Each structure stands twice: as C-alpha cells, then as structure tokens.
C-alpha cells in the first residue's frame, strides 16, 4: 500500500493488488465522465468520477486500473477530493473541475492545496489512435503531452523505485514501461492532469507525481490494458482524520 503525506490531519493511500483495504471507502459509480459531486453523508453517487468532502472521518475514493487517480487536499480548510481521470475525463477537464468546485463550494485557495497523481498508465505505455489525439488537441492541451513514436520495438525505460510519497516532489517510476512501437501515438496522462491542476491555480511544487506505471508493474498493480477490463481495481482514497 502506498501512503501519501498530506500532513497530520489528512490520511491518503493507493492500494496495491495484494492489499486488503480495511477502510470503509465511499466509492462512486464511475462512468469516465467529468462529473464532480460534494459529499455530506454516505450515499450512492451514480455517473460520478470525482468526490469532494469536508466531513471528518469519511473516506472517499476512486477505483482505477490504468486510469489516473488524483487526490487533492486543502490543508488549511480540511477539504479533500478524490478524482478518477480516465482519458475521457481528462479531456473533459475533471481534475481542473474538482479544484474549481473546491474553490466555489468551500472557499479553498489553490495555494493551500496539495495534489497527488497516483499509479496509472505511463506515457510510454498509453498508446492511442489519432481520434483520441484530436480530442486532446481540440481541448487545448499542450502538444508536449502527445508523442508520435519513432523508436524500435522493445524499448524499455527503467527508473528508480518510490514506495511512499512524503513530499510534493516528483518521484520516478518503480516499474519499466514498454511497447514503444514505430508510428504510434502516445498520450501522457500524468502531464495532462498536472497541466489541469496548474491551470486551476496550483504550482508545480504542490503536485506529487508518483510516476508508477500500472501496465508495467504486474506484480504490484492491476492493469486493464494488460489483463483486460475485468481485472481487479486499485483504490485511491483520502480522509480528514477526526
């Protein structure tokens, strides 16, 4: 289990494939949307990919198996958010929308926030078609998140391990990423969601990128791209401690 340091009053984690999650986490019914809901009590949240709460002791979270989990906390006002950013939700700006909702509903300020971009598919592994590239370009994402590969087969990038996030500094992936094939398009969902956070007002130093690739780590993480859609799911969750 990967634990994140948001300070003494906020707990947060991402489970790994062999972990048993003992926390009673409120999880919405994900639909790869850009819908954000505020949680005041336990309830069902259909068609929702991001939850926000200020209720102490209430764990909120999201499932994922390659999509990007983003956890956000305002440590001044003790407001937290859990975001599921698949490529459709990322195109729809869900991470930026969650920050905007925190500002609108609770008076949060970006300078008081910290965010974690959790384990998910890496830029080297997320191959897409031209139609997906077009959607990102139409949504004004920077060209730097899009790569057209001209590398030979079996390129592997190995980087150092990172088991626990302890500060808002970018960590490198603990897992190799593979499958860079010639004339393929790749989207960097990590940088896309970091860009959405900065567009919402956060600074780079307030955003922790774990850099862990779900597809490249079969011993640690579930991956829909590697194992199929019916594989298990990771849980990324956050809570204001009582």
**What gap in Å lies between CA 164 and CA 198, rounded to an integer?**
23
Q: Is the CB of residue 193 less than 8 Å from the CB of residue 90?
A: yes
Tokens representing residue 61 in the block:
């979270």
The pLDDT tens digits for 207-222 are 999 999 999 989 999 8
The dihedral region occupied by 221, where left means phi > 0, alpha psi between -120 and 50, and beta the remainder, is: beta
The pLDDT tens digits for 24-35 are 999 999 999 999
- pLDDT, average across residues 1-12: 94
The pLDDT tens digits for 100-145 are 999 999 999 999 999 999 999 999 999 999 999 999 999 999 999 9
Q: Is the CB of residue 26 less than 8 Å from the CB of residue 187?
A: no
Q: Which residue do the tokens 């859990």 mark?
A: 82
User: Which 3 state secondary structure label does DSSP give 72?
Assistant: strand
Between the CA of residue 163 and those of 47, 74, 91, what are the distances in Å?
A: 32, 23, 29
Q: Which residue do the tokens 């971009």 mark?
A: 117
The pLDDT tens digits for 153-192 are 433 333 333 334 444 344 444 454 444 445 589 999 999 9
Determine whether 200 is exposed, middle or buried from the number of CB atoms within 10 Å of its CB (0-12, 13-18, 19+).
Answer: buried
**Residue predicted with more confidence, 66 or 156:** 66
pLDDT at residue 150 in the model:
61
User: Does the CA dihedral 151-154-158-162 come out positive or negative?
Assistant: positive
pLDDT at 19 > cutoff 80: yes
Between the CA of residue 70 and those of 16, 54, 73, what are the distances in Å?
A: 16, 17, 10
pLDDT at residue 99 in the model:
97
pLDDT at residue 11 in the model:
96
The dihedral region occupied by 16, where left means phi > 0, alpha psi between -120 and 50, and beta the remainder, is: beta
Tokens representing residue 168 in the block:
């808002």
**What gap in Å lies between CA 224 and CA 17, rounded to an integer?**
13
Q: Is the CB of residue 210 less than 8 Å from the CB of residue 119?
A: yes
pLDDT at 198 > cutoff 80: yes
pLDDT at 196 > cutoff 50: yes
Q: Is the CB of residue 63 less than 8 Å from the CB of residue 25?
A: no
pTM of the prediction?
Answer: 0.85
Residue 37's H or E segment, with its range, is strand 36-39
pLDDT at 81 > cutoff 90: yes
Tokens representing residue 142 in the block:
């920077």
**What gap in Å lies between CA 2 and CA 40, rounded to an integer?**
27
pLDDT at residue 175 in the model:
52
| Percentage of the chain exceeding pLDDT 70 | 86
**What gap in Å lies between CA 207 and CA 37, rounded to an integer?**
22
């Amino acid at each position: 289990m990967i634990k994140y340091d948001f300070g003494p009053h906020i707990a947060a984690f991402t489970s790994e494939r062999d972990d048993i999650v003992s926390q009673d986490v409120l999880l919405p019914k994900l639909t790869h949307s850009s819908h954000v809901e505020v949680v005041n009590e336990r309830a069902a949240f259909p068609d929702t990919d991001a939850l926000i709460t200020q209720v102490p002791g209430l764990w909120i979270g999201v499932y994922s198996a390659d999509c990007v989990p983003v956890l956000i906390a305002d440590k001044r006002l003790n407001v937290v958010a859990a975001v599921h950013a698949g490529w459709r939700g990322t195109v729809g700006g869900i991470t930026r929308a969650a920050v905007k909702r925190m500002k609108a509903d609770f008076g949060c300020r970006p300078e008081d926030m910290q965010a974690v971009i959790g384990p998910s598919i890496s830029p080297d592994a997320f191959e897409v078609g031209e139609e997906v590239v077009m959607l990102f370009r139409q949504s004004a994402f920077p060209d730097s998140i899009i790569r057209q590969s001209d590398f030979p087969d079996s390129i592997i990038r190995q980087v150092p391990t990172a088991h626990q996030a302890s500060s808002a500094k970018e960590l490198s992936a603990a897992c190799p990423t593979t499958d860079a094939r010639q004339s393929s398009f790749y989207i960097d969902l990590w940088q896309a969601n970091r860009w959405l956070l900065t567009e919402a007002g956060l600074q780079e130093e307030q955003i922790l990128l774990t850099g862990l690739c779900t597809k490249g780590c079969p011993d640690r993480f579930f991956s829909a791209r590697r194992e199929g859609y019916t594989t298990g799911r990771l849980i990324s969750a956050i809570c204001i401690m009582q």
